[in-house]
Amino acid sequence: MKRHDEVTDPVSNHQTDSHADVESRSGRLAKESKAPADRPDPGAHGAAVTLEDVSISFGDHIAVRNVTLQMPARQVTALVGPSGCGKTSVLRAVNRLHDHTGGAVRGTVRLGSLDVYGPDVQPEVLRSRIGMVFQRPNPFPTMSIFDNVISGLRFNGVHNKRLLREMGIAALHNAALWDIVKDRLSQPAVRLSGGQQQRLCIARALAIEPEVLLMDEPCSALDPVATAKIEDLIRHLSGEVTIALVTHNMFQAARVSDNVAVFLLGDDRVGELVEVGPTDRVFDTPNDARTKAYVTGHVG
Amino acid sequence: MSTLPSIQAGLDGAMPDMGLAEAARRRLVVRDSARRSIGRRRTAGRAMQAICLIAVPIGVAPLVALVVATVSKGAGAVNVGFLLHAPTPEGVPGGGISTAIVGSGEIVAYAIALAVPMGLFIALFLFERPGGIASAVRFSADVLSGVPSIVIGIFTYAVFVERFHHFSDLAAGFALGVLMLPIMVRANEEAMRTVSVDLWEAGVSLGARRSRVARSIVLRGALPGVVTGNLLAVARGVGETAPLLFTVASPTFAMTLLIFNDATEPFPDAQQAAWGTALVLLALVLTLSVCARTVAWTLNRKTR
């Protein structure tokens, strides 16, 4: 366990759970802890995100109901299905974005063993552990490329210049963007191409070293070349961070995901989870007739 | 163990062990910072919220105070007779402000007839023909909206009243129209800009003439903003006094002039009448503003 000694930052010296955190990164069995609210938590039984009987409604309209789903740690879980079946709603329940849009979430959502909607949870601290990437690249137009990357760090109170620089560079490397932007870090972010902007947004999300990365159709506004780069990136990141990927592109799900969760609209126009499992299994031998029709392109 | 620094780990190849440790250390920095700073951030956030909450009543207070004062001082003067009777000379009871209401209505009608169509056409020009001329026109509108209303009044006096040796509501309407025009032009243009280029291109690519797209797509899409902007400009114009000073024959032919005249009289009856007139004017302006909001809301809702 030599690598524990490399944790040299003074702030970690008094962190009792620092070792567990390192161990979870390196794929070791994480110790189950009582996990006080908002603590980094390695995740119980290998599932980074757990949904138990989750239903989401907006006013009288139920968007999706009775979703029970586990997203294994450091794997890509694709949420697929036609438009309007609640994939994105489920994704946004994980980092409590519905708090701000009037959506009501019932059931239990867990990040590791932390109850996301628990009474002691501060949404800001929760979200500092979860990254999110949106359909359209949305770099902050008033910030430079580098300021975009480190914006999440600043929002979370990191102000040490050396740390910001180091962590921003690391995030750009992780998003495979460093070589492209290293000479233009102070340029406005909106000068980048669409695909580069999206990778910048991924770098921005990665800079806070999230345990989970939520991606909401991250390629829907991109051309095939840019899409391929993002998909490479997703594959590369999957050993590092748990990724939840919403997509309506079945081929993309097949290419990049380890697990797939298929959502469809029920008879009463309410979204529901019809099948979940390892990607290969769901695509090759779907259990549910509706899944079969959907993945083979007969329904959509 | 590989000695590659973590920053060498791009898309190619797995992260070396050292990189993992680095990542774990970075994660601890962020988590620790987030947890330690949350109290301070929450406090700062609450403080700003409190300031906003305090700012709201302070901002609304002047309006409330103004309405309360006007209603309490003017309500006693306002009755049906006050609205329907013509003003009487000082000391003669039973006077009203009917001539001023009719006069103000007439002046504003002239101003609307002048400014609303002009404002629409100028805004359409700015929208459809961007370039040097449009920029010059836009700049002129901005300058004109900054011209003091008393200057517009004296200009109208020189152009109309002096030349034709005749005070008239038409001249007053012209002065008010000039005052309202730049406000309307900019409001209309802003409203048209909210119609996306996509829609314009969709219309043109269906074979529609530009004029037809301007009417069916641009103007229709901008309608809520156009109506709101124009109504607010009218509300602004109704309350103007300065452009009327040199153009209206008698203060009894416009509400704002009547207020000015009566309020400066030494007699309590006249001052009471001034407050009454102020109340009627205020009610009119508030009604216009409410209409503007309602129309915009209704039109917006239809497109959902």
Average confidence (pLDDT) over B1-12: 40
A170 interfacial to chain B (CB closer than 8 Å): yes
B31 domain-assigned: no
Contact between B86 and B95 under an 8 Å Cβ cutoff? The reply is: yes
CA distances (Å), origin B164, targets B36, B159, B160, B174, B253: 78, 9, 6, 14, 19
Nearest residue, CB atoms, B26 vs list A157, A170, A232: A170
| Chain A nearest CA to B58, separation (Å) | 27
Reading the block at residue A157, the tokens are: 């109170």
Q: Say if the Cβ atoms of A208 and B30 lie within 8 Å.
A: yes
Interface of B with A in 32-61 (CB under 8 A): 32-38, 40-42
pLDDT value for B77: 83
B60 domain-assigned: no
pLDDT in tens, A145-154: 999 999 999 9
A52 interfacial to chain B (CB closer than 8 Å): no
B233 domain-assigned: yes
- Which chain B residues touch A25 with a CB distance below 8 Å? 20, 23-24, 27
Nearest C-alpha neighbor of A85 from the set A288, A269, A296, A294: A269
Q: How far is CA A178 from the centre of its chain?
A: 21
B263 domain-assigned: yes
Nearest residue, CB atoms, A157 vs list B8, B11, B34: B34
Write b or e for each residue in B190-219: b if 16 or more Cβ atoms lie within 10 A of its Cβ, otherwise e.
ebbeebeeeebeebeeeebeeeebbeebbb
A269 — alpha (psi -120 to 50), left (phi > 0) or beta? left
Nearest residue, CB atoms, A157 vs list B8, B25, B41: B41
Q: Say if the Cβ atoms of A26 and B41 lie within 8 Å.
A: no
B168 domain-assigned: yes
Domain count, chain B: 1
CB within 8 Å of B44: residues ≥ 6 apart: none
Q: What is the C-alpha to C-alpha distance for residues B244 and A109, in angstroms, rounded to an integer?
A: 68
Mean pLDDT, chain A, rounded, equals: 84
Q: What is the C-alpha to C-alpha distance for residues B287 and B202, in angstroms, rounded to an integer?
A: 38
Range of the domain at B178: 94-303
CB within 8 Å of B254: residues ≥ 6 apart: B100, B103, B104, B107, B172, B244, B248
Which of the 8 DSSP states describes residue B218?
Answer: I
Q: How far is CA B225 from the centre of its chain?
A: 10
Task: Please report, for the domain that includes residue B290, its CATH number.
Answer: 1.10.3720.10
Nearest residue, CB atoms, A125 vs list B29, B38, B40: B38
pLDDT in tens, A76-116: 999 999 888 999 999 999 999 999 888 999 999 999 999 99
Q: Say if the Cβ atoms of B35 and A125 lie within 8 Å.
A: yes
Give yes or no for residue B191 having a pLDDT over 60. Answer: yes
A128 interfacial to chain B (CB closer than 8 Å): yes
B178 domain-assigned: yes
Q: What is the C-alpha to C-alpha distance for residues A177 and A264, in angstroms, rounded to an integer?
A: 36
Q: What is the C-alpha to C-alpha distance for residues A57 and A60, in angstroms, rounded to an integer?
A: 7
Q: What is the C-alpha to C-alpha distance for residues A99 and A104, in angstroms, rounded to an integer?
A: 8
B64 domain-assigned: no
Q: Where does residue A138 rank: exposed (0-12), middle (13-18), buried (19+ CB within 10 A)? A: middle
Interface of A with B in 188-217 (CB under 8 A): 208-209, 211
Best mutation target, B4, B6, B30, to test chain A (most A CBs within 10 A): B30
B220 domain-assigned: yes
Interface TM-score (ipTM) > 0.95: no
Q: Say if the Cβ atoms of A233 and B11 lie within 8 Å.
A: yes
Q: What is the C-alpha to C-alpha distance for residues B226 and A255, in angstroms, rounded to an integer?
A: 50
pLDDT in tens, B108-148: 999 999 999 999 999 999 998 888 999 999 999 999 999 99
